[in-house]
Structure 1
Amino acid sequence: MILGVSGASGMIYAVRSLKHLLSAGYTVDLVASRASHQVWLKEDGVQMPTNPEQQADFWREQAGVQSAGKLRCHAWGNVGASIASGSFRALGMVIMPCSMSTVGKLAAGLSSDLLERAADVQIKEGRSLVVVPRETPLSLIHLRNLTTLAEAGARIVPAIPAWYHRPQSVEDLVDFVVARALDQLAIDCVPLRRWEGK
């Protein structure tokens, strides 16, 4: 699958999703936007490498998964990468976290970097695109852009945790959102206490 990481706050969502996907043996093609490098530095005081090979090592270290699964990282400016083509086969794409800037560009059909191009490909090919917006409050413009994406077939999974699974840590709250996002691609690799009813 394709994992896009845009410049919204909440890099932990990308880290936890990658941890679960790689631990379950999935192949992940990851592209982090230019802005995500700045956000990561601000949130965690850590500089993400720009070189794709170094970035793969970086992501594995952050996720705590050294050898499982397969991870290919792509430079944000490499619009000629494999994931930029409609002929590239994938289970789908998740953008997590997703900034409102990215949402706006996708809703307008614009793609100025590889993350946006890969997402645009999913839309034009009628494939699965899951957007995990991390913003509050949402303006009318944000809501209209999200509606446009939903009308184009994207699934919108806001980064809103639930409480019925009795979270004991921040990671539990994050994993709930990760699990619900991956559910949209029929990927079940996050240990999650699901609602069982009465």
Structure 2
Amino acid sequence: MAGTDGNRPRLVVGVSGSSAPQLAVTFLEIARELGTVETHLVMSAGARLSIERELRQDPSEVEKLADVVHDTRDLGAAVSSGSFVTLGMVVVPCSMRTLAAVATGNSDNLLARAADVTLKERRPLVLVARETPLNYIHIENMKRVTLAGGTILPPVLSFYHQPRTIEDLLRQTCGKILDQFHVANETFPRWTG
């Protein structure tokens, strides 16, 4: 499961066009801090718009946080193949459009294709679904992804760790994501009883 540097496992990080690209940025920053995984980034066109509008940042700045960047139009990229071994994939945040594409196997871009490959290879797929309230279609799509082996991990606020800043809340969600891939992290104070 070695990455391009020969010793770190690869993790595919998809970013779709939902609100809260701050989650993706924080996740990539933490992954870089930890240095234990090689991140392969795929950003949708919608993600680029969200980054520009919500972060007031050029998407290329976010790309610099990843180890490898793949163009979402490149269906021949390494992450489109099951023979490219990874720990799995996270889509953070995950729009309802991307959720629907994954749930129906509609792999018309690299982000959806990489998610489809992750499921077919029985690797962990974590979708950080960012929408509220949910309608029946959203719930059915979440059910389909879950039955296919994926994990739906909405960025639900928690307060047992006594967050003082938005960054504390973001880091807690990112720590929960990393836990799904068994990547050791201390991004937030854990509940000890």
Q: TM-score, normalised by structure 1?
A: 0.88
Match of 1:18 in 2: 28
CA contact (8 A) 1:21 1:189 kept: no
Q: CA deviation at 1:159?
A: 0.8
Please report the RMSD computed on the Cα atoms of aligned residues, expressed in angstroms: 1.3
| Residues 60 and 120 of structure 1: CA distance in aligned 2, closer, same or farther (over 3 Å) | closer
SS of the residue corresponding to residue 100 of structure 2 reads helix
Q: CA deviation at 1:190?
A: 4.1
In 2: Cα distance, 1:44 partner to 1:158 partner:
20
SS of the residue corresponding to residue 99 of structure 2 reads helix
The one of 12, 15, 37 aligned to 1:2: 12
> Mind listing any 5+ residue stretches in structure 1 that lack a counterpart?
49-54, 64-69
* Identity over aligned pairs, percent: 38
The alignment status of 1:170 with 2:180, answered yes or no, reads: no
Q: CA deviation at 1:60?
A: 6.4
Q: TM-score, normalised by structure 2?
A: 0.90
In 1: Cα distance, 2:135 partner to 2:63 partner:
35
Task: Give the aligned length.
Answer: 182
Deviation readout 1:107-158 (Å, 9 max, x if unpaired):
1111111110000000111111001001000001000000000000001111
In 2: Cα distance, 1:127 partner to 1:36 partner:
24
Residue type of the alignment partner of 2:20:
G
Deviation readout 1:50-101 (Å, 9 max, x if unpaired):
xxxxx3xx2266x6xxxxxx70011110111000001011111000000000
Runs of 4 or more consecutive aligned structure 1 residues displaced over 2 Å after TM superposition: 44-47, 188-191
The one of 100, 107, 130 aligned to 1:104: 100
The one of 142, 146, 164 aligned to 1:146: 142
Residue type of the alignment partner of 1:140:
Y
CA contact (8 A) 1:20 1:190 kept: no
| Residues 189 and 29 of structure 1: CA distance in aligned 2, closer, same or farther (over 3 Å) | same
CA contact (8 A) 1:157 1:181 kept: yes
Deviation readout 1:30-69 (Å, 9 max, x if unpaired):
0101111111111122232xxxxxx3xx2266x6xxxxxx
Match of 1:161 in 2: 157
> Mind listing any 5+ residue stretches in structure 2 that lack a counterpart?
1-10
Q: What pairs up with 1:38-117 in 2 under 5 angstroms?
A: 38-48=49-59, 55=60, 58-59=61-62, 71-117=67-113
